């Protein structure tokens, strides 16, 4: 005989066990997606490493040009959007590491404490010349290699040549032989960022409609975590701009890419405004402030607008549906304001308007035109003309015919 309450527990366990195969399949699918995403970079790195070794070993007659393939791979794996700078830092870092290492070995010899002193000197020199993290790291690693490998006459120059060959090959592979498709890179980064923002907005709207502050709080946590996805999106845009500028094979993608390039910053602004909106919704719920029923719908419409933007950008289409949905969100917020809002409700309305403006600007609407369209959607201009809202209250005792 089973005890009361045992059946729900068994049911939960059965659900967990039933979900294990699906999760395994999902894990395999996620791993395969990651492999596909990194496959092109792997092919680039393999080609660059092989070409760098061939040039240094067979063309320049270097017996063991280990720095050449290393430099080529580091160039390709360096931070997106800054590969030219990273390559310069790589070569300079190698020069510093080799120079400091060879000089100190000549004076103090080699050994455990000598290696530590050589790395210390290389890092200090790299820092003194104003190098960033890549330059410092490369200087230190080059110094370690110099200190632990057999040295001989002329090696500093030839090792520097290895690094120069490798960095140059990496850049050639990246820009001419196998340039990444910038649209693919940007879309792959934009999709998760826009999805997180859209789903976060919908969750906030649903939580507000249901009076569920836990759902709204979970949405806020998710929107804060989305900062990483938006940072990756911004970095991908920078990389794509660099790729298009230096890779002739990708010049034809400039038009489609412009939507992402022009809209990325505005979407980052929208994310931050949405977080402010969400915190104010939580405050209103905590204060038990009555909110108009149209405000949750308005917030949900903003989520729809973000999702439509993701879809229209992916198709390379003019984001007309996105603009319509953002303006509808602003109009619903205006209705909510007319019905009457408290302090927090007024802030929520203002943030909906600001976010709608951000979305319009992300679709290519000009800086001054976007807020004008939002005001028109809200009906603010008509209300001001009717005298319902004033920009400022007259001072006590002031009148039109007052003379000082």
- Of 189, 171, 275, 184, nearest to 235 by C-alpha is 189
Indicate the pLDDT class of residue 147, thresholds 50, 70 and 90: confident
pLDDT for the residue 108 = 83
What secondary structure letter does DSSP report for 266? Answer: H
State pLDDT tens for residues 209-247. 999 999 999 999 999 999 999 998 988 887 777 666 555
Residues 265-276 have a mean pLDDT of 95
Query: What gap in Å lies between CA 281 and CA 313, rounded to an integer?
Result: 30
CB 189 within 8 A of CB 304: no
pLDDT for the residue 235 = 83
Q: Which has more confidence, 192 or 26?
A: 192
pLDDT for the residue 2 = 44
Query: What gap in Å lies between CA 363 and CA 358, rounded to an integer?
Result: 9
- Residue 74 DSSP SS3: helix
pLDDT for the residue 343 = 92
State pLDDT tens for residues 150-202. 545 445 567 777 878 887 888 788 777 666 667 777 888 899 999 999 999 99
Which range, of 105-114, 140-149, 241-250, 318-327, averages the lowest pLDDT? 241-250
Distance of CA 285 to CAs 144, 216, 316, Å?
A: 59, 10, 40
Query: What gap in Å lies between CA 274 and CA 345, rounded to an integer?
Result: 14
Q: Which has more confidence, 105 or 120?
A: 120
Q: Write down the CATH number for the domain with range 182-384.
A: 1.20.58
Here the tokens at position 124 are 């200090």
Percent residues over pLDDT 70 in the chain: 72
Question: How much is the mean pLDDT over the chain?
Answer: 78
pLDDT for the residue 123 = 86
Query: What gap in Å lies between CA 359 and CA 267, rounded to an integer?
Result: 7
Query: What gap in Å lies between CA 354 and CA 262, rounded to an integer?
Result: 18
Domain boundary assignment for the chain: 36-177, 182-384
* Cα 129–chain centre separation: 30
State pLDDT tens for residues 373-385. 999 998 764 454 4
Concatenating the DSSP letter of every residue in 181-214 gives -HHHHHHHHHHHHHHHHHHHHHHHHHHHHHT-HH
Q: Which has more confidence, 279 or 87?
A: 279
Query: What gap in Å lies between CA 204 and CA 217, rounded to an integer?
Result: 8
């Amino acid at each position: 005989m089973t005890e009361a309450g045992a059946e729900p527990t068994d049911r939960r366990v059965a659900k967990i066990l039933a979900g294990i195969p699906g999760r395994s399949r999902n894990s395999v699918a996620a791993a395969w997606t990651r492999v596909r995403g990194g496959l092109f970079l792997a092919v680039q790195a393999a080609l660059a490493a092989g070409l760098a070794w061939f040039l240094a070993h067979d063309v320049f007659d270097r017996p063991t040009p280990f720095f050449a393939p290393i430099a080529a791979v580091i160039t390709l794996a360096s931070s997106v959007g800054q590969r030219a700078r990273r390559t310069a830092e790589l070569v300079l870092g190698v020069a510093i590491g080799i120079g400091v290492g060879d000089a100190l070995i000549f004076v103090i010899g080699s050994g455990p404490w000598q290696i530590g002193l050589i790395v210390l000197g290389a890092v200090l020199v790299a820092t003194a010349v104003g190098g960033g993290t890549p330059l410092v790291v490369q200087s230190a690693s080059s110094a370690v290699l110099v200190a632990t490998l057999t040295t001989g006459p002329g090696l500093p120059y030839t090792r520097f040549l290895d690094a120069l060959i490798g960095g140059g090959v990496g850049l050639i592979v990246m820009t001419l032989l196998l340039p990444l498709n910038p649209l693919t890179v940007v879309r792959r980064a934009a999709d998760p960022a826009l999805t997180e923002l859209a789903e976060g907005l919908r969750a906030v709207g649903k939580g507000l409609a249901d009076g569920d502050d836990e759902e709204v709080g979970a949405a806020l946590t998710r929107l804060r975590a989305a900062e990483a996805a938006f940072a990756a999106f911004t970095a991908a845009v920078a990389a794509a701009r660099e790729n298009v500028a230096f890779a002739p094979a990708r010049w034809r993608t400039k038009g489609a890419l412009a939507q992402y390039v022009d809209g990325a910053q505005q979407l980052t602004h929208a994310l931050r405004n949405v977080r402010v909106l969400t915190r104010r919704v939580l405050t209103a719920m905590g204060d038990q402030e009555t909110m108009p029923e149209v405000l949750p719908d308005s917030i949900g419409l903003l989520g729809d607008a973000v999702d439509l933007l993701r879809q229209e950008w992916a198709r390379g289409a003019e984001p007309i549906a996105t603009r319509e949905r953002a303006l509808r969100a602003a109009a619903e917020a205006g209705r909510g304001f007319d019905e009457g809002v408290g302090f927090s409700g007024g802030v929520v309305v203002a943030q909906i308007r600001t976010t709608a403006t951000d979305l319009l600007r992300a679709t290519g609407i000009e800086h001054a035109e976007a807020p004008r369209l939002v005001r028109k959607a809200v009906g603010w201009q008509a209300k001001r003309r009717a005298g319902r809202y004033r920009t400022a209250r007259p001072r006590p005792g002031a009148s039109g015919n007052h003379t000082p």
